[in-house]
Amino acid sequence: MDRDLVINRKARRDYNIIKTLEAGIVLLGSEVKSLKEGKGSLEGAFARIENGEAFLYQMNISPYEKAPTYALRDPKSPRKLLLHKKEIGELAGAISRQGRTIVPLKLYYRRGKIKVLLGIASGKSQVDKREKIKEQESQREISRILKRRREF
């Protein structure tokens, strides 16, 4: 059973997600405990391919209170992503196109391991965001009107 630990709510608002990919992540035990308590954030996080390896940057994991001092790590330190070479090549090819990036969408717990859902994304313009908001508001208004009609 999957359980969401951290969700990047701004990712789908700020980016058009083209494709998603699941990856493992290298964490310390105290970081896993902290994430299980919900003390993590993906806001502003991104992934990058370096020397044939994938890393996740700017992900914040607050220190676990009961962890010994030697087991603490910087909350925003880069974390290695566990992917097959084929998947890393696919990501590298996808982001080589202009205007694309790798954005973490959520961290979740699956079969005893913490996974990251990565999205290959292209940025949305401000106009696109406004149009989407208008569309959502009009859909809400239509559903309200239909609901009132059903009541009569």
For residue range 31-40, list pLDDT tens digits in order.
Answer: 888 888 888 8
Q: Which of 90, 2, 3 is nearest to 47 (CA)?
A: 90
Burial of 24 (C-beta count, 10 Å sphere; 0-12/13-18/19+): middle
Task: Classify domain 3-124 at the CATH class level.
Answer: mainly beta
In sequence order, the 6+-apart residues with CB closer than 8 A to the CB of 30 are 63, 64, 67, 71, 72
**CA separation for the pair 138, 141 (Å, rounded):** 5
pLDDT at 1 > cutoff 70: no
C-alpha 130: how far from chain center: 22
Neighbouring C-beta atoms of residue 41, cutoff 10 Å = 18
Report which residue type is found at 70.
Answer: Y
For residue range 8-30, list pLDDT tens digits in order.
Answer: 988 888 888 999 999 999 998 88
C-alpha 105: how far from chain center: 2
For residue range 103-147, list pLDDT tens digits in order.
Answer: 999 999 888 899 999 999 888 777 777 888 888 899 999 998 888
Q: What are phi and psi of 60, to 5 degrees?
A: -105, 125
In terms of C-beta distances under 8 Å and separation of at least 24 residues, what long-range contacts does 123-129 make, across chains too?
123/14, 123/15, 123/16, 123/99, 124/13, 124/14, 124/15, 124/16, 128/16, 129/13, 129/14
The pLDDT score that the predictor gives to residue 55 is 95
Going from N- to C-terminal start, the domains of the chain cover 3-124
| Tokens representing residue 129 in the block | 């965001």
The pLDDT score that the predictor gives to residue 13 is 83
pLDDT at 100 > cutoff 80: yes
Q: Which of 77, 114, 107 is nearest to 6 (CA)?
A: 107
For residue range 44-96, list pLDDT tens digits in order.
Answer: 899 999 998 999 999 988 888 887 776 677 788 899 999 999 999 988 888 88
